[in-house]
């Protein structure tokens, strides 16, 4: 027997309700390792430059907590109360202010030296209009001279032969995970099938993939200008073979 679960179980938290939040840190354990966290925090602290930082999609605090531990004042926006509850339960969780809402439109008081959106979370916004709105929201929160940093994958369309729309990324005797692409609309979804004690469960999360050049245009529409683009947080060169990028745009000081 298969059970499908997802946002219908908790419309308030969307696709990241209690069930997903409870397993999130464990299922993304490699992203919580020091090798993944420390370089990101180093660059974000540098961009903050002694000012405030705002994280779009703060989640369970993977970067917000260590960044706050560096002495940076951090605020976050997130739609999922379940994810934020995990952040609050962690040591130092009380130091990170959080506003519940959609980061494409939710406003927070004051201005920030850096706004950041990491781990492919820009793709959680499933329309181009919503992604453009997120850039405009970031720009509205930035002080003059402030920066907006986005970490996101490069769409893996090279892995799609003609006529193929599905790319598996995990296969085991009890768990299968695969992405489905619609190249015409840039819509994609990550899909998970897991069998526990003879019972199968299926979960699907929609995304919209976005190209680096498209992000640059979104930044331009928001009044931001290019600051830097690298393959990763340690400023490795971004090339045609890169599978992800960290891109930063700046709000003009004038």
CB 208 within 8 A of CB 127: yes
Same domain? 107 vs 164: no
Rounded average pLDDT over 59-66: 98
Residue 50 is classified by DSSP as T
Residue 222 inside a domain? The answer is yes
Query: 12 falls in which pLDDT band (50, 70, 90)?
Result: low
Answer yes or no: do 67 and 112 share one domain. yes
Does residue 98 lie within any of the structural domains? yes
31 and 98 fall within a common domain: yes
**Whether residue 214 is found in the same domain as residue 188:** no
CA 43-44-45 angle, to 5 degrees, is 90
What is the rounded distance in angstroms from the CA atom of residue 239 to the CA atom of residue 191? 29
Rounded distance between C-alpha atoms, residue 121 and residue 17, angstroms = 16
185 and 150 share a domain? no
Return the pLDDT at 10: 47
* Same domain as 182, residue 162: yes
Q: Where does the pLDDT of residue 8 fall: very low under 50, low under 70, confident under 90, or very high at 90 and above?
A: very low
In this structure, the answer to whether residues 191 and 124 fall within a common structural domain is no
Q: Is 1 among the domain residues?
A: no
3-state secondary structure of 103: coil
Going by pLDDT thresholds of 50, 70 and 90, the confidence category of residue 174 is: very high
Residue scoring higher pLDDT (239 or 13): 239
Per-residue pLDDT tens over the stretch 216-239: 999 999 999 999 999 999 999 999
pLDDT higher than 80, residue 33: yes
Residue 165 and residue 218 in one domain = no
Q: Which pLDDT value is given to residue 9? A: 42
Q: Do 75 and 35 fall into the same domain?
A: yes
Q: How many CB atoms lie within 10 A of CB 48?
A: 23
What's the pLDDT band for 37 if we cut at 50, 70, 90?
Answer: very high
Overall domain count for the chain: 2
Q: Is there a single domain that holds both residue 171 and residue 192?
A: yes
Owning domain of residue 245: 10-155+210-250
pTM score, two decimals?
Answer: 0.92
* Element holding 134 (H helix, E strand): helix 128-141
The reply to whether 89 and 198 lie within a common domain is: no
What pLDDT does 20 receive?
87
Beta strands in the chain (DSSP E): 2-4, 53-56, 74-78, 97-100, 112-117, 142-153, 166-171, 175-182, 187-196, 199-208, 225-230, 244-250
Instruction: Decide: 231 and 245 in contact? Cβ < 8 Å.
Output: yes
Average pLDDT over residues 107-127: 98
Same domain, 96 and 221: yes
Q: 114: how many CB neighbours lie within 10 A of its CB?
A: 28
CATH number of the domain bearing residue 114 = 3.40.50.150
Q: What is the pLDDT of residues 119-149, one digit of tens each?
A: 999 999 999 999 999 999 999 999 999 999 9
Please give the residue that has the higher pLDDT: either 229 or 10. Answer: 229
232's tokens: 């990763």
């Amino acid at each position: 027997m298969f059970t499908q679960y997802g946002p219908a179980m908790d419309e308030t938290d969307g696709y990241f309700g209690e069930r997903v939040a409870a397993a999130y840190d464990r299922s993304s354990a490699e992203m919580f390792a020091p090798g993944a966290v420390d370089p990101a925090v180093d660059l974000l602290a540098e961009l903050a430059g002694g000012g405030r930082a705002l994280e779009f999609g703060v989640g369970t605090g993977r970067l917000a907590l260590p960044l706050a531990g560096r002495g940076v004042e951090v605020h976050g926006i997130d739609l999922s109360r379940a994810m934020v509850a995990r952040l609050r339960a962690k040591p130092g969780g009380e130091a990170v202010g959080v506003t519940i809402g959609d980061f494409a439109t939710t406003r927070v008081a004051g201005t920030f030296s850096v706004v950041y959106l990491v781990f492919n979370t820009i793709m959680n916004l499933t329309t181009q209009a919503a992604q453009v709105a997120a850039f405009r929201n970031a720009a509205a929160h930035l002080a003059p001279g402030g920066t907006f940093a986005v970490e996101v994958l490069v769409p893996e369309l090279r892995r799609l032969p003609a006529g193929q729309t599905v790319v598996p990324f995990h296969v085991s005797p009890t768990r299968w995970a695969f992405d489905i692409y619609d190249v015409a609309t840039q819509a994609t979804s990550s899909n998970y099938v897991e069998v526990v004690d003879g019972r199968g469960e299926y979960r699907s999360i929609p995304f919209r993939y976005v190209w680096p050049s498209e992000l640059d245009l979104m930044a331009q529409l928001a009044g931001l200008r290019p600051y830097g683009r690298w393959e990763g947080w340690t400023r490795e060169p971004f090339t045609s073979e890169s599978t992800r990028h960290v891109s930063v745009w700046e709000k003009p000081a004038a």
